[in-house]
A and B are shown apart, each in its own frame.
Chain A
């Protein structure tokens, strides 16, 4: 599926899968398209804006029990200068289905505003893997929303890799609505130049015996900024909840900065919860260890940063994508090698 400037442009589906009921389509071409788009369960000014200006929406419907072996890929590209893009993606993973959906966002070198919404509905006992790679140009201002609902005994593995944009925000709201549901939320973000990455997450435990595990790791360089604020909310009915939240940040330049704000809101006693957050420079002792082997400082730093991200990259739902992402990170880190400050005294 190709989405250009927020508008569905081109769709190709394996006929064999389509025959078995897999739907990848523009909502406008579906009889129940309007109903589908009104299912959105979260609201803020930017979701209202998205709904008001929606030029079309991508619907992925995986029928009950279907196992889709290969990833379903949605490519978003912005190439209109001065445009505002309002994309919507709705993934409906039927009961006991199993699938992987990848969204890749890129842009030409244009000034643009992007307000995409992703809805993931994971049916009972379904397994859904979702990866979003954001590699927008440095003049794109993005406010994104990723809302998920996880059913009974279902598992969602949702990952974000954020590399670009000017100001780029992603709100992640994962609601665990069915007993025994699990949500794994991971992110890798690297902000250089004058970018700002802004992540706001909610792990919302509504049903009993639900699990959420969040691991967001980021690095900021040059004059870039990042903010992570996360909330674990455990409702009155959500007994036996396990909820974990970890956010770690590396600050690679003196002019860069990262903030991390974890929060808990717990209304029942029977829970296991933890949160951890850290913001700091590369550890001097790690750098010294590698340099004492003869590794030049910029290479040592690159190894440490990639190692830091490795824990998340290794968990990404599409292992084939990891090598490419590593290569991109190596290139981006090498581009800023001139600004490396030697930690030795």
Chain B
């Protein structure tokens, strides 16, 4: 059983505070959705958890099973069991998905051949064509291909907690279903904990949340069950002021 705990997190960019005291918990097997309008700080939360470049932490903590992540370099957070599926996966020219996965699992003593098998099997599951595996990461991929690619990596790397930053943006219906179903299956089968960040409730009809939090202006302003997402669908974010 794993637990990601964000407590009193204040963070920003260039001295400008964006997260103004965030508290939330994600546990194994749970899908925790953070919803909020554009500019509420959702993507900042995702990147601060992972240690993205350019973000500053002013106060608070982010722990995975009691281990403070904020002082660790990004790669060690990943090795500790965190994964971030990025909203806009970065193009990395000349580096293939297969090579990246081999390099990511090498510190755990996994052999490249074993990783290659895992990647190939997972590609079939999430609907990534095998031709894409040798191509440079995210270069010239469609929105749907990029998000399937992120999901494939999630499955191969088998983290304890995954943060999905707007994984529904730029997705067609088929890709949305494929991605959601794969994540839900991993959650149910091996107890992945998921922090899913989204603007829209469309995703949450496929990837059903256990907990929904509403974020506005850098704070969690409401937390509830799946019914909260449905309520937001009909009333919008206007009802949640600071």
A residues lining the B interface (CB < 8 Å) = 283-297, 299-300, 303-304, 306-311, 342-345
Query: Could you list 15 A-B pairs, sorted by A, with CB under 8 Å?
Result: A288-B90, A289-B86, A290-B92, A291-B73, A292-B78, A293-B100, A293-B101, A294-B75, A294-B78, A294-B79, A295-B103, A303-B100, A310-B93, A344-B53, A344-B73
Distance in angstroms from A312 CB to nearest chain B CB is 10
A293 partner, pick from B55, B56, B93, B104, beta carbons under 8 A: B104
**Contact (Cβ within 8 A) A294 B104:** yes
**Contact (Cβ within 8 A) A293 B92:** no
**Contact (Cβ within 8 A) A345 B90:** no
Whether a CB of chain A sits under 8 angstroms from the CB of B126 is no
Q: How far is the CA of A285 from the CA of B91 in the complex (A)?
A: 9
Given contacts A293-B101, A293-B157, 9 further A-B contacts (CB under 8 A): A284-B53, A284-B54, A285-B90, A289-B89, A290-B92, A290-B100, A291-B78, A292-B77, A294-B157
Identify which of B95, B100, B157 gathers the most chain A CB atoms within 10 Å of its CB: B95
**Contact (Cβ within 8 A) A291 B74:** yes
B residues 78-114 with Cβ under 8 Å of A? 78-79, 83-84, 86, 89-95, 99-101, 103-107
**Contact (Cβ within 8 A) A286 B90:** yes
Which residues of B are found within 8 Å of A303, using beta-carbon distances? Answer: 92, 95, 99-100, 103
Which residues of B are found within 8 Å of A283, using beta-carbon distances? Answer: 90
Q: How far is the CA of A292 from the CA of B81 in the complex (A)?
A: 11
B86 partner, pick from A291, A292, A295, beta carbons under 8 A: A292
Interface 1/0 per residue, B50-68 and A, CB below 8 Å: 1111111000000000000
Q: How far is the CA of A310 from the CA of B95 in the complex (A)?
A: 9
Distance in angstroms from B50 CB to nearest chain A CB is 5
Contact A288 B100, CB 8 Å, known A307-B92, A307-B93, A308-B93: no
Distance in angstroms from B115 CB to nearest chain A CB is 12
Which residues of B are found within 8 Å of A309, using beta-carbon distances? Answer: 94
Whether a CB of chain A sits under 8 angstroms from the CB of B137 is yes
Q: How far is the CA of A134 from the CA of B193 in the complex (A)?
A: 52
B residues 156-214 with Cβ under 8 Å of A? 157
**Contact (Cβ within 8 A) B78 A289:** no
How many B residues are at the interface, by size bracket? 35 or more
Which residues of A are found within 8 Å of B89, using beta-carbon distances? Answer: 289
Distance in angstroms from A322 CB to nearest chain B CB is 13
Which residues of A are found within 8 Å of B56, using beta-carbon distances? Answer: 345
**Contact (Cβ within 8 A) B53 A310:** no
Which residues of B are found within 8 Å of A292, using beta-carbon distances? Answer: 50, 52, 74-75, 77-78, 83-84, 86
Which residues of A are found within 8 Å of B136, using beta-carbon distances? Answer: 307
B107 partner, pick from A294, A311, A343, A344, beta carbons under 8 A: A294
Which residues of A are found within 8 Å of B50, using beta-carbon distances? Answer: 292
B residues lining the A interface (CB < 8 Å) = 50-56, 73-75, 77-79, 83-84, 86, 89-95, 99-101, 103-107, 136-137, 153, 157
A297 partner, pick from B55, B73, B91, B157, beta carbons under 8 A: B73
Closest to A286 in B: B92
Which residues of A are found within 8 Å of B74, using beta-carbon distances? Answer: 288, 291-292, 344
Contact A310 B94, CB 8 Å, known A294-B107, A295-B103, A343-B53: yes
Q: How far is the CA of A303 from the CA of B97 in the complex (A)?
A: 11
**Contact (Cβ within 8 A) A294 B105:** yes
**Contact (Cβ within 8 A) B53 A293:** no
Which residues of B are found within 8 Å of A300, using beta-carbon distances? Answer: 75, 103
Which residues of A are found within 8 Å of B54, using beta-carbon distances? Answer: 284, 345
Which residues of A are found within 8 Å of B94, using beta-carbon distances? Answer: 304, 306-311
Q: How far is the CA of A237 from the CA of B17 in the complex (A)?
A: 62
**Contact (Cβ within 8 A) B51 A293:** no
Identify which of A291, A292, A308 gathers the most chain B CB atoms within 10 Å of its CB: A292
Which residues of B are found within 8 Å of A345, using beta-carbon distances? Answer: 51, 53-56
Q: How far is the CA of A5 from the CA of B79 in the complex (A)?
A: 52
Closest to A305 in B: B94
Closest to B85 in A: A292
Q: How far is the CA of A290 from the CA of B91 in the complex (A)?
A: 10
Q: How far is the CA of A10 from the CA of B26 in the complex (A)?
A: 72
Q: How far is the CA of A310 from the CA of B99 in the complex (A)?
A: 13
Q: How far is the CA of A344 from the CA of B71 in the complex (A)?
A: 10
A295 partner, pick from B51, B75, B77, beta carbons under 8 A: B75
Identify which of B74, B100, B101 gathers the most chain A CB atoms within 10 Å of its CB: B74
**Contact (Cβ within 8 A) A289 B75:** no
